[in-house]
Structure 1
Amino acid sequence: MKINWGFGPPKEPKGTDGEGAARDGASVASPRSEQHTWTGGSQLATRIVVGLLWGALIAGPLALALQVLLPESRPVVRQDGYVDRIGEAAAVSEFAERAVVAWLETPSEESDALRAYFGDLGQSRPDIPWTTSGSAVAEIVKDDSGLWSVTVGVDAAEGTSPPDAEPASEPAETPADAPVETPAETPAEGDSDDGDAEPVERITSGRLYFQVPVLYVDGEMIAQALPAPVPAPDEFDQLASAYDHGLAADHPAFARVANFLNAMLVSGDQASLEAYSSPGTSFRVLNPVPYAGVRVETIVAAGGEAPSEEPSDGETAEVQANVTLSGSNGEQLGAQYSLVLQAREGRWEVARLRTSPALAEPVPLPEPVPVTTTPSSGSSSADGHTPPSGTSTSQGTSSQGPSPTPSEEPTREAGSDPPTGTTTESP
């Protein structure tokens, strides 16, 4: 049976002349049936269009409802977020390092190349520049003005004249009435010049440090001043270690730690490494193995006493292993590992490799800078009294109230407000 999809009149079957139709027993379609097929296709197209229109009408309010009900999506990196500050600090660090190196290595004849870093800042350039290597950022902070202050360390050597260079011309004679600059090493008036003072030590090469302020605005950077030589960062004494009791070489924990490190650093045997580790750990061997041997020199435990030789299950111990690594060329290198041991079935196993050693004292933190708030006229303290003008309090909040007129000020008595200019401290 032929199916008409409503896009035209039905086709006559092959050989549908009058006789063929009579032979096949097929009836000729009447005008009514042909009209029905045309109108049926039109109705189907109309229904499809109406359905699409209804879908569009429903989708609009639905999308609006989803926009209102769903939580607002926020960008991963905020414009003023911490991640932004990290990227800005990295860019400023790289710029400051390049600026300091260029400032040292650029001779006077190429000083125009420094405009990209320092703009039109006046500068005196040497004819023979310094040579540098190993530059790195030692410190970067953002000061109260909004500028980045960057300290760059660099291995620098003062430039030397080539052997065939002509000697420098004699300086012109100074007129008698012209002021004469006093050299830095000339002793001041009143100082003794008996020669007891030690001479100033000067170097022509070494590790030098320079501080440069950098302005950063929307990805653009420029140095706000020329680099200034500054002292090297202060050295700091190491903190006291918590490891205070050595383990004997025949202690069971000594052998377990030695075998663990040998499997990780030398043999590269993952199965052996796991055999000396606590269950649930995920230690991995070094691959490829860079060392030919490892020797455990000493193992020191924290806590004032050595770990038990027959520990109970779940017992833990903090130890530090001092080892000597040997390369394929026979050269040796010292290293230290801080480990946490845990007992299981009467033996010690490595439970964790610490990222830092155990300390006997806390790491010192910078003390917060005290902020003194001077309340404005009319501010009152927490007890309801109004401090006079000029009084400084350590409290950061205050409530507003009417300021008493001079005629309304009470006579000073015991417990009354202090006079103008005094300072009160909150308990």
Structure 2
Amino acid sequence: MKLTLNRRPAQNDPAPGTEPGDWEIDEGPRDVAGWSTGAQANTTTVIRWTAWGLLVLGPLLGALAYLSVPAQAGLTQKPLPPAAPAASGAQGAAGFAQLFVATYVSAGEDDQDELAAYYPDATGLRLEGESGQRRPEQLTVVRLRQTAPKVWSVTVAARITGPAPDAKPDGARRPGDKDDVQKQTVPVLRYFQVPVATAPTASGASGYTALAMPAEVAAPERITAPGLVYGPMRPALPADPRTQAVTEFLTAYLTGAGELDRYLAPGTRLAPVRPAPYTGIALDTLAIEGEKGAEPVTTVPADGTTLRLLAAARATGHDKVRLPLTYALTLKARAGRWEIAGLDGAPAPAPVSATRTGATTSAAPSAAPTTR
């Protein structure tokens, strides 16, 4: 509390016990409800300056917060692009069609309920023959296309084993022939087209159903293989450094003989096939990129030179049977020798000439451009 001394002026009727001109104590502002009027003034000032400070700092803090947000956070706010139609339900539809064809091939009399698990209307079908008389040995999807929203057309190839057809007329059959013929089996590759619909179930998972029974169709048409960058196949000469490099690599890679790393270019990582399936490798022919003739080659070019080739070999198995194998390889020259720089996933196609591309485009303007 602040104390001040004030001189009180003389009064006509001074208070008892005081004299004119005496000093009195001024105790300053009086306390109001435990809070002085001076403290209230100071608090008001602090609040006023705090409010002004917040008004000034508000935009600055907002800008700082905006700039401090990571760039990744902005990306998460953008809606994800819709999934491609061909990716939604395709895998499930393909597997469903394979199971349906397998059941269909082996079905016989009184197997309607088994087929109804895939095609509900199968309960009204008339089935003939013995159940399991035909057996699907191999099944795989060879074509998958979307014909409508949530509807897939799946073509399944099935290798079916069943009784061999009886080619003998009834008059030429001798006792015991019929039973012998029925015991014979002939595997036949056949193709079935299955329409499959998909929709979410009550649990949220994808559900599938067939829209009809399988339809047997013809095999897919063969296409003409594209040209490759390699020259013609020619004998792999023992004196050719490329023959030596490829033979040593394949021997270590397939038979486990020798260290594989010593035949690899720096930076190339390959692991040998284990357990080793073969006991020996014989390199028969090579097709070299850019080579058209069959002139013998006995030298290695400058370091860093790369070369692609196709190598046709025969691998001898543990049963002494030779199996033909073909490898697409990339070689790289270093220190006077060829090293394996890559085991290519597929032979390299030849680039399409500009003239051919222009002719194709003009003949079929709606076709997609050919890419390498």
Same fold (TM over 0.5): yes
Flag the 1:79–1:361 CA change in 2: closer, same or farther, 3 A: closer
The answer on whether the counterparts of 2:241 and 2:298 sit within 8 Å (CA) in structure 1 is no
Q: Report 1:360-375 matches (<5 A).
A: 360=350, 370=366
Distance 1:327 1:267 in 2: 13
The Cα of 1:304 is off from its aligned counterpart by: 2.2
State the alpha-carbon separation in 2 of the partners of residues 152 and 214 from structure 1.
12
Give 1:92's aligned amino acid: A
What displacement does 1:237 show? 3.5
3-state SS of the aligned residue for 1:260? helix
1:298-344 CA distance string (max 9 Å, x none): 22212025767131122222221111111122111110111111112
CA deviation after TM superposition for structure 1 residue 85, in Å: 5.1
Within the alignment, does 1:136 sit opposite 2:140 as a pair? yes
Give the distance between the partners of 1:344 and 1:253, measured in 2 at CA: 13
Deviations 1:349-387 (A, max 9, x none): 21111111123365x99999949xxxxxxxxxxxxxxxx
Match of 1:124 among 123, 126, 137: 126
Cα 1:154/1:346, change in 2 over 3 Å:
same
Of 243, 265, 269, which residue of structure 1 is paired with 2:254?
265
Structure 2 residue identity aligned to 1:346: G
Residues 110, 286 of structure 1: alpha-carbon distance in 2 compared, 3 angstrom cutoff: closer
Relative distance call for 1:290 and 1:123 in structure 2 (3 A) is same
Contact 1:318 1:338 in 2 (8 A): yes
Q: Could you say if the C-alpha distance between residues 132 and 321 of structure 1 is closer, same or farther in structure 2, counting changes exceeding 3 Å?
A: same
Match of 1:298 in 2: 285
Question: 2:195 corresponds to which residue?
Answer: 213
Residue 259 of structure 2 is aligned to residue 277 of structure 1: no
**What is the TM-score normalised by the length of structure 1?**
0.53
Give yes or no for the alignment of 1:354 onto 2:355. Answer: no
Residues 331 and 159 from structure 1, CA distance in 2 versus in 1: closer, same or farther, beyond 3 angstroms?
Answer: closer
Cα pair 2:239 2:298 within 8 Å, conserved:
no
Q: 1:79 to 1:119 in 2, by over 3 A?
A: farther
Is the alpha carbon distance of 1:102 and 1:288 closer, same or farther for their aligned partners in structure 2, counting shifts above 3 Å? Answer: closer
Whether the 8 Å CA contact 2:313–2:325 is kept in 1: the answer is yes
Counterpart for residue 96 of structure 2: 95
Of the three residues 243, 247, 251, the one matched with 1:254 is 243
Any unmatched runs of 5+ in structure 2?
Answer: 1-60, 165-184, 201-205, 368-372
Q: Are residues 301 and 107 of structure 1, via their aligned partners in 2, closer, same or farther at CA, if it must alter by over 3 Å?
A: same
Aligned to 2:160: 156
Pairing 1:292-331 to 2, within 5 Å after superposition: 292-304=279-291, 309-331=299-321
Say if 1:137 and 1:153, in contact at 8 Å, map to a contact too: yes
Q: Which amino acid aligns with 2:125?
A: Q
Tell me the amino acid that sits aligned with residue 132 of structure 1: R
* Cα distance, 1:123 vs structure 2: 2.8
* Cα displacement string for residues 402-426 of structure 1 (whole angstroms, at most 9, x for unaligned residues): xxxxxxxxxxxxxxxxxxxxxxxxx
Q: How does 1:183-198 map to 2 (within 5 A)?
A: none
CA distance in 1, matches of 2:76, 2:89: 21
Structure 2 contact 161–186 (Cα < 8 Å) conserved: yes
Q: Which runs of 5+ in 1 are unaligned?
A: 1-60, 161-202, 372-427
SS at match of 1:151: strand
Name the SS for the 2:121 alignment partner: coil
Structure number with higher strand proportion: 2
1:268–1:286: 8 Å Cα contact kept in structure 2?
Answer: no
In 1, distance between residues paired with 2:341 and 2:262? 12
Fraction of identical pairs, as percent: 27
Aligned residue for 2:226, secondary structure, equals coil
CA contact (8 A) 1:295 1:323 kept: yes
Give the distance between the partners of 1:282 and 1:116, measured in 2 at CA.
49
Question: In structure 2, what is the Cα distance between the partners aligned to 1:315 and 1:239?
Answer: 26
For 2:242, give the aligned amino acid.
A
Provide the C-alpha distance between the structure 1 equivalents of 2:277 and 2:187, rounded to a whole number of angstroms: 35
2:333 to 324, 343, 349: 343
Equivalent position of 1:225 in the other structure: 212
Amino acid at match of 1:253: R
The change in CA–CA distance for 1:345 and 1:333 in structure 2 (over 3 A counts) is same
Contact kept, 8 Å, 2:135 with 2:161, in 1: the verdict is yes
**Cα distance in structure 1, aligned partners of 2:119 and 2:333:** 62
Q: Distance in 2 between matches of 1:119 and 1:139?
A: 24
Question: Does structure 1 conserve the Cα–Cα contact (< 8 Å) formed by 2:281 and 2:316?
Answer: yes
The 3 A distance-change label for structure 1 pair 141 and 348 is same
**Alignment check: 8 A CA contact 2:134 2:163 kept:** yes
What's the C-alpha RMSD, in Å, of the aligned pairs? 3.7
Q: 1:239, 1:361 within 8 Å by CA — same for their partners in 2?
A: no
Matching residue of 1:418: none
Distance in 2 of aligned mates of 1:81 and 1:332: 47
Paired AA for residue 225 in structure 1 = A
Tell me, in whole angstroms, the C-alpha distance in 2 between the residues paired with 1:73 and 1:318: 42
CA contact (8 A) 1:268 1:287 kept: no
Aligned to 1:109: 110
Contact 1:132 1:154 in 2 (8 A): no
Deviations 1:240-273 (A, max 9, x none): 3332253532112211221122122223433xx2
| Cα distance between partner residues in 2 of 1:299 and 1:135 | 35
Q: Is the 8 A contact 2:109 2:128 kept in 1?
A: yes
TM-superposed CA distance for 1:127, in Å, is: 3.7
The answer on whether the counterparts of 1:158 and 1:204 sit within 8 Å (CA) in structure 2 is yes
